[in-house]
Amino acid sequence: MLERHATFQETLDRFQWRIPARFNIGTACCDAHADGSGRPALLYEELDGTLSVTSFDALKAQSNRLSNMLRAHGVAPGDRVGILLPQRPETAQAHMAIYRMGAVALPLFTQFGPDALEHRLQHSGARALITDAENIGKIEAIRAALPELASIFVIGGAGHPDLALEMARASDSFAPLDTRADDPALIIYTSGTTGKPKGALHAHRVLLGHLPGVQLPQEFFPQPGDLFWTPADWAWAGGLLDVLLPSLYFGTPVLAARARKFDPEAAFDLMARRHVRNAFLPPTALKLMRQVENPRRFGHAMRSIGTGGETLGADMLAWSRDTFGFEVNEFYGQTEANLIVSNCAGLFPVRPGSMGRAVPGHRVAVISPAGEILPAGQPGLIAVARPDPVMMLEYWRQPDATAAKFIGDWLVTGDTGSCDEDGYYWFQGRDDDIISSGSYRIGPGDIEDCLIRHPAVLMAAVVGSPDPVRTEVVKAFILPRPGITPDPALAAEIQGFVRERLAAYQYPREIEFVTELPMTATGKIRRKDLRDREVARKRGAGAQS
């Protein structure tokens, strides 16, 4: 836990990791607070506004039942268990159950289509899956491609074993596995620049590694009366490791809400009605909330807001300060090593455009391709040194990709930037083809693979195109097959083709049909040329308007 001292430098100097040899996320986040007092763990608001409260006592009893149920169906320590659910109590129950039995949680985004789900379930070798009636149809469509998936449990049944009925048959007493802090606990798949997404395998210690990076942007969370909420799905590191698990670890309640899509007015209303005090709001969410007229009319009880994924800039920071009455703290990280740089306005001045300073406990630097630390102000590769408790163990079943992620003992984030003389980090850009759209980091490879499966597409290249709200939108340059006449109807058909198979946030919002694609001498598509062209085109369009 991060202790606050008079200055940031003193806070930094006096921090030290206390990672025990034995640690289990499930027992630390649940059992430690299940003392019979009925202390609230989860507040769940359904679509109709109905609110239910789950105590730590109930969370322990229900997750114990789920652990026993999974074990009875053959799930053993080390087995992967998929969780295809939105923000709801059963999602938290599943995480606690999987961790305490020594299995490995595989969170899955409910907006994923069949292709995206098939890759993650197949590549991870998932043995069991927990989902609901809204999502089971996507699993049924790919069931034949998942021979290792032995058991599926569905909230509401829908022709499969009913989760609640199966749990009711199990005991609410379970002896947790005495896991090591370095034992595998979680796989979160992240977008790759080419090919399929990679699974970042994390140990139980990853939660402890996240705590300083949660506490700093949330102004030394937790404080009495705190209540945490995020619109980010719990299937992502931002929702799971930045909000849900740290809150439960500290015994602080979390608000879960089942929004179909992000509605900025509804977000203001929800935070006011439920007296939310702390939030992780992705930059795109804040930009959309800025469009709401007179947002202060909602009122709020907010104490801290963290944001990350892109730079807000001075104008957005000023709006946030005017709207909420305090500074919004930007932070930085990625799935492989998250929350390693942050701002904390209560401890040091925020410099607009900066990601902040290295979070205590993490050795962050800007390095050269040879692994040398560069002087202040000189741009290079943003990297974090190992060992570090927040760092992944490996990319699941991809040793070559794991090795390529490191330069010596430096994990290279894939971002370029600089660090000034005062230790503030400044983002410059990606050194690969990742697209930053809204709160998502999107690899083009998965989308291009899907596009060329469409019968009208011969070749495709996907890049990020500048966008004032989302930072970038996914744009596809498509070379049609001979004899195909492109038109807007075909573009819409291709967009739907991708949206149904991958996810809504991955489909190309812009499509341009071309007669050729820029290629290297070895036959690789030069995405950089296309990106540069898009930047120039939109800059020119902005100047003309």
- Give residue-wise pLDDT tens across range 395-446: 999 999 999 999 999 999 988 899 999 999 998 876 677 888 887 878 787 8
Strands 40-45 and 254-257: parallel
| Predicted confidence (pLDDT) at residue 145 exceeds the cutoff of 90 | yes
| Predicted confidence (pLDDT) at residue 272 exceeds the cutoff of 90 | yes
Q: What global pTM score does this model have?
A: 0.87
Cα separation, 163 vs 151, in Å, equals 11
Dihedral through CA 328, CA 333, CA 334, CA 338, nearest 10? -100
| Predicted confidence (pLDDT) at residue 544 exceeds the cutoff of 70 | no
Apex 528 CA angle, 402 and 517, nearest 5: 110
Cα separation, 430 vs 407, in Å, equals 17
Q: What is the number of helices (H) and of strands (E) in the chain? A: 17, 26
Closest CA to 338 of 509, 501, 214, 472: 214
Altogether, the residues listed in the chain come to a count of: 545
Q: Which residues contact 210 (CB under 8 A, 6 or more apart)?
A: 241, 242, 245, 246, 338, 339, 390
- Give residue-wise pLDDT tens across range 171-223: 999 999 999 999 999 999 986 555 688 999 999 999 999 999 999 999 999 99
Compare 74 and 471 and report the one with higher pLDDT: 74
| pLDDT at 439 (0 to 100) | 77
Q: Which of 66-80, 246-260, 382-396 is predicted least confidently?
A: 246-260
- Give residue-wise pLDDT tens across range 513-543: 999 988 765 456 788 899 999 999 988 776 5
Provide the CATH number for the domain formed by 435-544 in this structure.
3.30.300.30
Apex 63 CA angle, 57 and 67, nearest 5: 145
Arithmetic mean of pLDDT, 484-513: 95
Longest dimension (CA), the chain: 71
| pLDDT at 459 (0 to 100) | 84
Apex 396 CA angle, 391 and 401, nearest 5: 80
Q: Rounded mean pLDDT of the chain?
A: 93
Residue type, 183: D
Q: Which two tokens stand for residue 53?
A: 């409260």
| Predicted confidence (pLDDT) at residue 463 exceeds the cutoff of 60 | yes
Cα separation, 123 vs 105, in Å, equals 14
Arithmetic mean of pLDDT, 379-390: 96
Question: For 462, phi and psi rounded to 5 degrees?
Answer: -120, 130
Arithmetic mean of pLDDT, 304-324: 89
Dihedral through CA 348, CA 349, CA 350, CA 354, nearest 10? -80
Residue type, 407: I
Measured over the CA atoms of residue 101, residue 105, residue 110 and residue 114, the dihedral's sign is negative
* Residue 338 half-sphere exposure toward CB, CA atoms < 13 A: 26
Domain segments of the chain as ranges: 22-204, 435-544
Q: Is 370 exposed, middle or buried (0-12, 13-18, 19+ CB in 10 A)?
A: exposed
| pLDDT at 195 (0 to 100) | 62
Q: What CATH number matches the domain at 22-204, 3.50.50.60, 3.40.1010.10, 3.40.50.12780, 3.20.20.70?
A: 3.40.50.12780
- Give residue-wise pLDDT tens across range 101-114: 999 999 999 999 99
Asked whether 277 and 248 are in contact (CB, 8 A), the reply is no
| pLDDT at 129 (0 to 100) | 98
**Alpha-helical runs (H) found in 337-459:** 399-404, 444-451
Apex 44 CA angle, 41 and 45, nearest 5: 155
